[in-house]
Amino acid sequence: MRINRPLAFLVALLFTAVVVVGVFGTSWNTVSELPQNPEDQSNIEGIGMLLFTRYVVPFEVISIVLLASLIGAIYMAKGEGNR
Partner 1 sequence: MIPLNFYLGLSALLFSIGLYGVMTHQNGIRMIMCIELMLNSANLNLVAFSSYTGTLNGQVFAIFSIALAAAEAAVGFAILMAIYKMHDKINLDELKILRW
Residues that bind partner 1 (CB under 8 A): 1, 3, 5, 8-9, 11-13, 15-16, 19-20, 23-24, 28-31, 33-35, 43, 46-47, 50-51, 55, 58-59, 62, 65-66, 69-70, 72-74, 76-77, 82-83
User: CB burial class (10 A; 0-12, 13-18, 19+) of residue 33?
Assistant: exposed
Residue 39 Cβ vs partner 1, minimum distance, rounded to whole Å: 18
Residue 40 Cβ vs partner 1, minimum distance, rounded to whole Å: 14
Cα separation of 4 and 23, whole Å?
Answer: 29
Side-chain half-sphere CA neighbours of 2 within 13 A: 3
